[in-house]
Amino acid sequence: MPDNMRKKRRKIRFKMFIILCFLLIGSLVCIDQLMAGKTASQDLESAAAKDDEGASPATAVRSNLDVKQQKPETEKNTASKEQEKRENKEAQPQKQQDTLNNKGKKEEQSAASGKKLVYLTFDDGPSDATKELLKILKDYEMKATFFTLAPNVNQHPDTMKQMVDDGHAIGLHGVTHKLDQFYKDPHSPLEEMLENQRVVDEATGIKTYLIRTPYGSVPSLTADQRSILKEHDFILWDWNVDSDDWKFRDKRYVSAVIKQLEARVDHPSSVILLHDTAATVNHISLLLDYLVEHDYETHIITADTKPFHFDSY
């Protein structure tokens, strides 16, 4: 074979070798890059998995901390609400008395404007007839003042609560309702009124200072007894219209009241003495009808109402 041909073949083989080398090197580079990318991807997935595993306990801890932090706050709020309820309950009697006092101021203004004003007052209760009386008063949208006896308050605590809930005023009439016991010495009226006040407070939560002495303040209440009662802030009330319902025990007491009201037409107000008994309640609607027809307003007695005394008029 000529030398030229040999040289030419060697040159071709060399070129092919060079090309194969380049191809081989290129393949190795590609394989290496692919392997590196796969490894990096696995590393990233592994790192992400570790992060997830690490995050769950941290999240749980934070959640637990949040619950622990919120729980005391919730308990604090609950305790605060309970305290508020107790305070509202304790303040309710005072609010009721304040409401009655405010009504008293408005009632005096009403009387000053020329409207006919009447105070319905019921002594000796509560009784078995009181609930019916309260129902009738509610039907007529009228208010009254109840001068109660301590033993009857103890027997009818629910009725006492209803009186207050219905917006009526509560007063004191003593314990025994006996002349020889109530007026026996300078301090006996005070002692009976304090006992009466205590049981009313227990039944209603209201500490009232409105009083009416048995059979009225004249002639039995002495100057010393009156002074002692006043020193203890008790407010004495008598009446200027006597129904004599205790004597009639039928509807004739209504006529007796109407006759006296007609004679007092020029007076700014009238205080009617009635008794919390079945005989009175049976005919009270006749009197209330008259009051409605003749434009009378019935109001309650309060601590701000100017009291009527037998010896001052």
Q: Return the active site residues.
A: 123, 275
Q: What is the number of other CB atoms lying within 10 angstroms of the CB of residue 226?
A: 18
Cα 272 to its chain centre, rounded Å, is: 32
CB atoms within 10 A of CB 97: 20
- For 30-92, give the secondary structure using H, E and C: HHHHHHHHHHHHHHHHHHHHHHHHHHHHHHHHHHHHHHHHHHHHHHHHHHHHHHHHHHHHHHH
Of residues 159, 223, 234, the one with CA closest to residue 193: 234
End-to-end alpha-carbon separation of the chain, Å? 166
Give the DSSP letter of residue 25: H
Residue in the block written with tokens 């205790």: 246
Cβ neighbours of residue 187 closer than 8 Å, sequence gap 6 or more: 225, 228
